[in-house]
Amino acid sequence: MAFDKYVKLPGSERQPMLGATQAGSLDPNEVMQVTLALRPRASGKKQPSLADVIASGKRLSQGEYEARYGANPADVQKVQAFASALGLAVAQVNLAARTIMLTGTCATFAKAFQVPLARYEYEGGAYRGRTGAVSIPTELRNIVRSVHGLDNRPQAETHFRLANPHNAIAPVAAAATSFTPLQIAKVYNFPTGTNGTGQTIAIIELGGGFTQSDLQTYFQGLGISPAPSVVAVSVDGAQNQPTGDINGPDTEVMLDIEVAGAVAPGASIVVYFAPNTDAGFLDAINQASTDTVNKPSVISISWGGPESSWTAQSLQSYNSALQAASAMGVTVCVACGDNGSDDGVGDGQDHVDFPASSPFSLACGGTSLGVSGGSISSEVVWNDGSSGGATGGGVSDTFAIPTWQANANVPPSKNPGNFNGRGVPDVAGDADPATGYQVQADGSSFTVGGTSAVAPLWAALLALLNQSLGNPVGYLNPNLYQTVAGQAGTFRDITSGNNGDFNAGPGWDACTGWGSPNGA
């Protein structure tokens, strides 16, 4: 094949990061890796669509999913031929995830995808960037869905908040009110008699790391012995690498592990460390959901960014990856952000956080929790006006309202066009730093909040349920919306407070979803 005629890849357009400026050229010999997402196998006349399979409640094994909806080996061969002809190497093929990872030099990639690559600088860092669209050979126009990794800007942010950010370097031992995850689980009536044995909770991290000494200290302090099994898995070369700074991603990593591990100490916890890039984050989701060694039944994600900060191709490819996880019976719990109804964008419009806004995510919002005498005395929407921290939530401008959400009274978007989008969040839990979680990181004990805590809390609850049921609950969203109206007591309905542009009220709302869990 000649590969000399090109077309622009729809949805691949990029602009520089806000505040970033081009600052020179790149080393043409810099070695980089890029992930291509491919189309699924063509559905035959006898083969139902993946959406129909998920709607039927059927779970596919990874082998079934790969054979029916994975990449077509013939498509892979065409991409391999393209790579070889242009001087790129194939580093990895994941047929189930429909991805191919290519490696090569910066100059070769720029030529292969006809895109200018340059160095961009912004306050706090620099990245390899591109502007405009990616181009692909006409021979691949119907095969390649998206290209990730040409641009390696930071793609996502953590969703934790320190209880005392003004004194974060030397944190106080605890806020005025703080809880261990065990206390949170108790007031939310999590089931007893199960500990997550036989389950694997996957946690995706895009930076930072953990130390066994911190984990040992923490779990010993809670009286949990032996400590939960925690294993690090490298994605795209990233490693478990603590920074030593609690203001950075170490706190995210430790919060996620400690909440999940305390609530489900019998579960295996596998932490997938990936680069904080468009490619790294996608590869981590795919690697976790198709991991035949660790076999997670639940994935916890506490990273994300406003939908408006993603390319259209990324929104769709991540959504497809989350759909695949759902089809294989994996529940994906995702924090929905800590910046209220505008998700920190500040353009006067409403924004929701992604990947929480994917219809295949269990989007986790935040509350402020009052406890008296071991029971909940009050619970309202988390919105700390003084620090600006508030639960994310609202209406997607990307994903149409799913059929299972049609009767939940999700309002249309308040943005121009009034799109009837997916409502966020689905569920909630304690996220206010002022009623936060006691954690241990980088040798210090302190209190943390944010919706980052809610995703692993729900992931741990689902691990307990999976153990109890003997099967993974899998894609939970349709069931939650079908059954909750007729099952009073499934959730604690949060009816007071707002996250900026949306107010809490009876039933589902765009601040706390259905509410916080009654775990039993």
For the chain, the C-alpha Rg in angstroms (whole number) is 22
Closest CA to 158 of 280, 278, 250: 250
Q: Which two tokens stand for residue 131?
A: 């502007």
Q: Which of 452, 493, 509, 516 is catalytic?
A: 452
Which of the 8 DSSP states describes residue 492?
E
482 C-beta neighbours (distance < 10 Å), count: 12
Residues in CB range of 16: below 8 A, 6 or more apart: 22, 120, 129, 131
Closest CA to 222 of 179, 193, 171, 191: 179
Please measure the distance between the N-terminal and C-terminal CA atoms of the chain and give it in whole angstroms.
60
* Residue 432 among the catalytic residues: no
Rounded CA-CA distance 158/203 in Å is 13
User: What is the dihedral sign for C-alpha 291, 294, 297, 299?
Assistant: negative
Closest CA to 298 of 261, 318, 263, 269: 269
Rounded CA-CA distance 100/282 in Å is 12
Q: Which of 214, 252, 258, 442 is catalytic?
A: 252
Element (H, E) at 56: helix 50-56
Rounded CA-CA distance 219/440 in Å is 9
Tally the C-alpha atoms within 13 A of residue 357's C-alpha that lie toward its C-beta: 30
Rounded CA-CA distance 137/130 in Å is 18
* Residue 256 among the catalytic residues: yes
* Cα distances (Å, whole numbers) of residue 264 to 391, 458, 496: 25, 11, 30
Which of the 8 DSSP states describes residue 222?
T
Rounded CA-CA distance 473/466 in Å is 6
* Chain CA centroid to CA 422, Å: 16
Inter-residue contact 129 to 16 (CB < 8 Å): yes
3-state DSSP call for residue 73? helix
Rounded CA-CA distance 84/48 in Å is 35
> Which segments within 348-475 are labelled E, that is strand?
353-354, 362-372, 375-381, 383-384, 389-390, 394-400, 421-424, 427-430, 435-441, 444-449
* Residue 252 among the catalytic residues: yes
* Chain CA centroid to CA 314, Å: 13
Q: Which two tokens stand for residue 122?
A: 């912004």
Q: Which residue has the tokens 């997607």?
A: 396
* Cα distances (Å, whole numbers) of residue 352 to 125, 151, 317, 342: 25, 23, 18, 7
Phi, psi of 49 (to 5 degrees): -70, 160
Q: Which of 256, 283, 397, 426 is catalytic?
A: 256
The catalytic site residues sit at: 252, 256, 452
